[in-house]
Chains A and B, each alone.
Chain A
Amino acid sequence: MLVPVKWLKDFVEIDITPQELADKLVSCGFEIEQIIDLSAKVTNVVSAKIVSFQQHPSADRLRIAILDIAKPELLQVVTNAADIHEGDIVPVALDGAKLANGLTIKSGELRGVPSYGMLCGGAELDADDSDYPGASKDAVLVFDKDTPLGINVNLILGRDEIVLDIGITANRTDANSVYGIAREVAAVTGKPLKPLSLDYTENNEKISDYLALVNQAPELCHRYMGKVVKNIKLCQSPQLIKQRLRAVGLRPINNIVDITNYVLYEIGQPMHAFDIRTIQGGKIVVRKAKKDEQIVCLDEKQYTLNQNNLVIANENEPMAIAGIMGGKDYSILPDTSTIVFESADFARDNVRRTSRSINLRSDSSARFEKGIDPWSQETGLSRALALIQQYGWGEIVNGVADSFPNPADPKRIVFSVKDIYRILGIRVPKNTIIKILNSLTIKTYEENGSIVSEIPSYREDMVGVNDIAEEVIRIYGYAHVKPTLIQDGEMVVGGCTKHQEYTDKLKNVLLAKGVCEIVTYSFVSPKIFDYLCLPAEDVLRHAIILDNPLGEDFSVMRTTLAHSMIKTIATNYLRGNKCVRLFELAKTYLPKKLPLTEYPIEKNTLCLGALGDDFYSFKSIIEDLLAVLHINFEFIRAQKPYLHEGRSAEIVAKDGTTIGYMGEVADLTAANYDVDKRIYLAELDAEYLIENAKDRLPFQVISKFPSVERDIALICPVETEASNLIRIIKESAGPLLIDTYVFDVYTGNQVEENKKSVAIKLVCQSAEKTLKDEDVNEVVASVLDALAAKADAKLR
């Protein structure tokens, strides 16, 4: 909200700088977005009287103007302006002046004649007729004859003004006006708040002879007031009103429209004026619109309404969309002589819904949406009429057409000093509390040992003692608060959950394996399911769809992290990062049923991806991770639509749960991401990993007897999987075998076709004795027998 400081000064004395004022407002809860100096746009332009003209010696269209700027020396300026005369008072930009169009004026020579400035028109000063008569013309601006010389044009144009751009929180609807801010300034600076001037006199006529009022929608129109003003003198507003409206970003139009805007900004009450000739039947009807009822508004657009919209109608047709905009055919015309001023309180959510549904917003609707004081209709109306009478613009008819179906009861909050202490934790003296609240125009006094606050109607936000505490502390100052560490609280045991602990452990393993963490958006494009080559009926395609996404690319909640990972790898690859290992730990969102009516499964998922790795080194990341978490698992050949058919596996825990998959991204999928290198990908159920992770296995004492190693080289069918051989060995070896693993695989000339050679190490050890050759030979023999029988594998 824009608030000119001088306007504030109508209501409260301000003897501090704008910056100090801004700081005070910040301290009591108002953000200052900006301090705008209206005079900063145009600098060093002053009023000057043309003393004489001389013809330029070498240019027909140029004249040399000699100017009086109330300095001992006259000023010489070369100009091509034609429509000015000796004796005119004009604006001249002096050396170094800054103009509204961004130009900086420098002294110089024009065709050999020195010129020490430039004469300005309205455009260079960012002024039009509403700022100064004649300023809209494309010519040098001529000021009134009585304008003093040598004064800054900002003074003449009323631009010597500082405007505060104040951010007002949603609860403080009462502060959305100059008077509302003045109330805060008075409280926070300790100065008295001056009353609004609301007095006017009425003639002897009766309003009932002019106007009847019917409120058919009391639930949507909480109050409607109408006053009649006759013998209206339609004219331009005085400079003061025009300048203030411009300072808050409004365009002055005529005195009547300007007055409604002025009151809107000063008091926060939206108003509207109808020409009484358009009120057919002499009756204002506040009612819901009929289905498909149409109205052309002041913006000259036609709007089609429905029964949820509120209108202000005459006997036959709507004259305005309540609280939003008036109809074009009912507005003030040059020959208007009698008007009806409307000042009303319309239900804010209805104004908001109507405004959204017909896509029309105005200053008035914005104000109603924020919420207005349920008692300010009268104040607003009185203020407008007082101004009309002050300027002699009309005659006010006696009486008011008023509908106020359900006036709310005034609120009282009763509390004690201790209540405030229990919220703030500091003791604010009773007198200080009472003084602060009264300074905020919240009438507060002691009664039967308690403190009573009568809450003004405009403080809708105040309902209980917490609100009182906030009012007290924001004026008293948060700087008075002394920090404490929950001094009266009960001891609690904090700390990380198991979930957090194992999440950290899991991440630490990945870091040690050189994997970097990424964070990507939870929403993806529905196209990703095609990129991943998922079949039409794939369960991953059953994703939760957002109703109002930022765009199609962010429109469904992901059911897999695979896309985000491949995409991130692709982006890195495109930027020349050829070797990356990444992980993401995030949720996938799996609906139990669509459309969504209950919580979906939000499944913590770990996704790993790598570029520039090979299958086995990528696999070792997962193996190490599961080993550190002490989860027993095996890799079982399996297929995924987006993985290489020969290089993909499921990871199955010992309890039979599939905890994820890993493999090489299929070339067809990688091509969808413009990557022609091998990408490795794994997705694991992080929930399972964390739930089943163990700190360590039971401690085991290592045998003091030496272990014996034997290597065996087997010839077996080429398709035999290592895991199968190892399983057979473990099953058949007996208790002396403590470790076994494949250390070499060979296919080629030395081995017959369709066979391969697998070299396996057997490590044997006993807890009771040093093993002899015969002991180990026995183990090897039974292993070889089993391998021959179950895997068609024999010693090479």
Chain B
Amino acid sequence: MLEEMIQQILNGCSEAVSKAQNTRELIEAKVKFLGKSGGLTMLLKELKNVPPSQKPAMGKRLNDVRGHLEEAFARAEDSLKTKERAQRITAETLDVTLSKQSTEYGALHPLSIVKNDIINIFTGMGFQIKDGPEIDFEYYNFTALNIPEDHPSRDSADTFYINDKMLLRTQTSAVQVHVMEQQKPPIRILCPGKVYRPDDDATHSPMFQQVEGLVVDKHITISDLMGILGEFAKKFFSSETKIRLRPSYFPFTEPSVEVDLSCSMCGGKGCRLCKGTGWIELLGAGIVNPAVLDCSGIDSTEYSGFAFGMGVERAAMVKYGIPDMRLLFDNDIRYLKQFR
């Protein structure tokens, strides 16, 4: 009688396991047969009616059955879970090529990027950053830089004036004098900033940015100038970049040089970018004119120095291949975002 009921339970379980479509149905069935008030538990209660001689065997039998069924349910549950997970994954599969509109990362202006690059290279070589006024006295912009009264750069065609004495600085070189008036050598400074000249075309903007560098110390030479600027060129452009010095003229340096870069596009063979010369003009430099040192209260018999000035726009145009300087001031978001 009991054995019959055991068989019924075994059959019932077997059927329930094979019929169960999901874990929920399976667990319901398990509760029905193995739960607190399930079939098998009921049979265990019947055990008290079994003659004592058969009790141990029957008890063992019921425990074996329970073990067997629990195992069967566990196996079935595992396989259903695997199946259900596979279904869920399929249902949750996304088109990973779709995108959602969100806040895009902003972009530094290319002039800031280039300026930062320049600053990082020179601060790494021990230069300090200095700032100076954009509206300055003509003394700092011209006179103290050894630029004579009748020099053409003082002309109103080349300088924005506010009145007889004050102007918009035409060169960050003006900061040199401010610094040298306040700081004694050794001086190793970099002065980035806006400067102004009345020009407006594809290669000139009435407002542009320069970075001025100044080194004053004992025994500073052209070789030092070449070494420092050569390192800069390698870091700013590429390790292949070479520099070339050409004699030039600036009133505040003597000797004065133009510094050319080997063309990054053709590697010096000659191309459209370098107009076939293999070299690109990048900056002006030179040994600080002793008159400028003396004018700023630094003894030119004891100290010497070199200075350089470069246009940030020009460097950006060379570095990024920007054809027209005016595009740097266009501020169309479609240009700006290219520099993220």
Contacts and interface: CB of A to CB of B under 8 A. Distances in A.
A695 interface: no
A611 to B, nearest CB: 9
Nearest to A568: B331
B133 A599 contact: yes
Interface in B101-143: 103-109, 111-112, 116, 119, 122-129, 131, 133-136
Interface string B236-259: 000000001111110100111100
A512 to B, nearest CB: 7
Given A516-B333, A571-B331, A497 B249 contact: no
B143 to A, nearest CB: 15
Contacts of B128: 492-495, 497
A424 B221 contact: yes
B247 A28 contact: yes
A27 B196 contact: no
Contact of B332 (A421, A474, A483, A571): A571
Contacts of B228: 485-486
Nearest to B168: A546
Interface in A466-502: 466-467, 469-470, 473-474, 478-479, 481-497, 499-500
A421 B287 CA distance: 13
Contacts of A512: 105-106
A172 B135 CA distance: 31
B223 to A, nearest CB: 3
A504 interface: yes
B112 A169 contact: no
Contacts of A348: 150
Nearest to A475: B247
A466 B287 contact: yes
Interface string A552-572: 001001000000000010011
A31 B251 CA distance: 17
A464 B292 CA distance: 13
B224 A473 contact: no
A641 interface: no
Contacts of B127: 494
A511 to B, nearest CB: 4
A599 to B, nearest CB: 6
Given A423-B222, A596-B163, A483 B227 contact: yes
B172 to A, nearest CB: 14
Contacts of B220: 486, 488-489
Interface string A446-480: 00000000000000000010110110011000110
A346 to B, nearest CB: 13
Contact of B331 (A483, A495, A518): A518
Interface in B64-119: 103-109, 111-112, 116, 119
Q: Which of B103, B161, B222, B245: most chain A Cβ within 10 A?
A: B222
B45 interface: no
Interface in A505-548: 507, 510-523, 544-548
Given A481-B222, A482-B223, A549-B160, A466 B255 contact: yes
Contact of A489 (B134, B150, B152, B218): B218
A315 interface: no
B321 interface: no
Contact of B249 (A29, A479, A481): A29
Contacts of A602: 133-135
B39 interface: no
B46 interface: no
Contacts of B309: none
A470 B106 contact: no
A548 B198 contact: yes
Nearest to B185: A490
B156 interface: yes
Contacts of A580: 333
A484 B131 contact: no
Given A478-B247, A516-B337, A494 B135 contact: no
A513 B246 contact: no
Contacts of A510: 106
A492 B328 contact: no
Contacts of B136: 599
B282 interface: no
A486 B217 contact: yes
A481 B107 contact: no
B224 A486 contact: yes
B195 to A, nearest CB: 10
Nearest to A29: B247
Contacts of B196: 522
Interface in B185-215: 185-186, 188, 194, 196, 198, 200, 206-207, 215
A486 B222 contact: no
A484 B227 contact: yes
A476 B218 CA distance: 25
A789 interface: no
B119 A500 contact: yes
A352 interface: yes
A341 interface: no
A514 B135 contact: no
Given A473-B255, A500-B129, A511 B290 contact: no
Nearest to A352: B150
B211 to A, nearest CB: 13
Q: Which of B126, B162, B196, B290: most chain A Cβ within 10 A?
A: B162
A504 B331 contact: no
A589 interface: yes
B304 interface: yes
A422 B104 contact: no
A281 interface: no
A485 B220 CA distance: 10
A59 to B, nearest CB: 49
Given A517-B106, A518-B336, A599 B329 contact: no
A510 B106 CA distance: 7
Given A28-B247, A516-B336, A423 B107 contact: no
A429 interface: no
B231 A485 contact: yes
A478 B287 CA distance: 14
Contacts of B334: 577
A743 B334 CA distance: 36
B166 A596 contact: yes
B333 A422 contact: no
Interface in B141-199: 149-152, 156, 160-163, 165-166, 168, 185-186, 188, 194, 196, 198
A169 B126 CA distance: 33
Contacts of B185: 490
Nearest to B157: A548
A25 to B, nearest CB: 10
B27 to A, nearest CB: 34
Interface of B: 103-109, 111-112, 116, 119, 122-129, 131, 133-136, 149-152, 156, 160-163, 165-166, 168, 185-186, 188, 194, 196, 198, 200, 206-207, 215, 217-224, 226-228, 230-231, 244-249, 251, 254-257, 287, 289-290, 304, 328-329, 331-334, 336-337
- A-B complex: 7 closest residue pairs judged by Cβ atoms: A425-B223, A425-B221, A29-B247, A470-B255, A169-B249, A483-B227, A349-B150
16 contacts: A170-B152, A170-B249, A478-B226, A499-B131, A514-B103, A514-B104, A517-B109, A544-B162, A547-B161, A547-B163, A548-B156, A548-B198, A572-B331, A577-B332, A589-B135, A599-B136
